[in-house]
Amino acid sequence: MLTDISKSLKDIQEYLYKITGIYLDTSKQTMIKNRLETLKKFPVFEGITTTGELIALASRNAQARQLFINAFTTNQTDFFREKAHFQDMLDRVLPSLFKNQFNIRIYCAASSTGEEPYSIAATVLHASEIYNSSCNVEILASDIDTSVLQEAEEGLFTLSPTLNLPNWVNMDKYFDTLQKCADGTRKIRAKDELKRMIKFFPLNLFDNNYPFRKDEFDVIFCRNVLIYFKVHDQNTILHRLFRHLKMNGTLYIGHAEDVLGLKEKLERLGNKTYIKIKE
């Protein structure tokens, strides 16, 4: 598709950074070329032969821009990834919230194909059962990539038999098995009870404002997405999210991530789990 690719990778890097905050350094050249290749199949890119034309098209055409963004996101995720966070929700966060309020709101930023918010929902249902709670829990889940959001909303997954789940998780309670495959994997679908709890919507964390109220959330999951941004931008995004976390609310970040300039305002519990203690 693109004839001038080698000399124009920098333009692609800069454009991607400008619209998403995703920063790919120069070592990612092969990856950039491969991701651009995947755009060939979409009719909207027909006739595009230079990166200049590609960027001009994406700048004026929302569909092309979204496909360009979708091509450059890395969506790796899994059910109950970084298990300690779900254990902490079950043992500490939810019992206390159930005692003190009726409406509980949880935000999952960068939810990818949905395994993370469905794991949150399954944890809430399990906790509601063992603590006998009828609280109303809403989970908001967003991502910049519209193709993963569509998958997440469908709630269809392939479950590997080697997945290491917490021992209290019974996937059959929350997912229907549609097919058992010869290799041991299972095609599963989230039950309505789980789906009803989650609202998916697109959101670019690099945007200046988020469509939430101040102090809207009791819990925020922002895991394994900060790593794609420059440190300065990670700090800005964390501060933006922090505004929407309630006092005493919990923030979970990924194992390779840091709370940077928020250290003084958060109490650190270990396992990348933080509590808001100051405005």
Ligand X SMILES: C[S@@+](CC[C@H](N)C(=O)[O-])C[C@H]1O[C@@H](n2cnc3c(N)ncnc32)[C@H](O)[C@@H]1O
- Binds ligand X (CB under 6 A): choice among 228, 242, 252, 274: 228
* Contact residue for ligand X among 3, 30, 76, 208 (CB under 6 A): 76
Nearer to ligand X, 225 or 241 (CB): 225
| 77 sits near ligand X (criterion: CB under 6 A) | yes
Is 67 one of the binding residues for ligand X (CB under 6 A)? Answer: no
Of 107 and 174, the one with the shorter C-beta distance to ligand X is: 107
Nearest distance, CB of residue 143 and ligand X, angstroms: 5
Contact 163, 185 (CB under 8 A): no
Name the token pair of 211: 């469509």
| 116 near ligand X, rule: CB under 6 A | yes
Candidates 29, 61, 74, 87; binder of ligand X (CB under 6 A) is 74
CB distance 107 to 140 below 8 Å: yes
Query: CA 52, CA 70: separation in Å to the nearest integer?
Result: 19
* Rounded (5°) CA angle 85-114-108: 50
The reply on whether position 104 binds ligand X by CB under 6 A is no
* 133, 224, 234, 236: residue in contact with ligand X (rule CB under 6 A): 224
Q: Any contact of residue 140 with ligand X (CB under 6 A)? A: no
Q: Which is nearer to ligand X, 22 or 127 (CB)?
A: 22
Among 54, 127, 141, 143, binds ligand X (CB under 6 A): 143
Report d(CA 216, CA 174) in Å as an integer. Answer: 27
Applying CB under 6 A, does 21 fall inside the site for ligand X? yes
Q: How far is the CB of 89 from ligand X (least distance, A)?
A: 15
Output the smallest distance, CB 201 to ligand X, in A: 11
Q: Under DSSP, is residue 64 helix (H, G, I), strand (E, B) or coil?
A: helix
Strand pairing of 273-276 and 103-109?
A: unpaired
Determine the Cα–Cα distance for residues 234 and 29; give it in Å rounded to an integer: 23
CA gap 122, 169 in Å, rounded: 8
Rounded to an integer, what distance in angstroms lies between the CA atom of residue 96 and that of residue 147? 36
- The tokens describing 207, both together, are 């945007």
According to DSSP, the β-strands at 186-190 and 156-159 are: antiparallel
Query: Among residues 17, 23, 42, 206, which is the contact residue for ligand X, using CB under 6 A?
Result: 206
Size of the site for ligand X (CB under 6 A): 24
Least distance (Å) between residue 189 CB and ligand X: 20
Residue 209 and residue 236: Cα distance in Å, rounded? 11
Q: What is the side-by-side order of every strand in the sheet holding 156-159?
A: 156-159, 186-190, 175-180
Q: Could you say which residues in the range 160-189 bind ligand X, by CB under 6 A?
A: none
Which residue number, 22 or 64, has a Cβ lying nearer to ligand X?
A: 22
> Where do the H-state alpha helices sit in 139-225?
146-154, 171-174, 192-195
Applying CB under 6 A, the span of 55-63, 76-84, 188-196, 267-275 interacting with ligand X comes to 76-84
* Binding positions for ligand X, rule: CB under 6 A: 20-22, 73-77, 81, 110, 112, 116, 143-145, 148, 204-206, 223-225, 228, 254
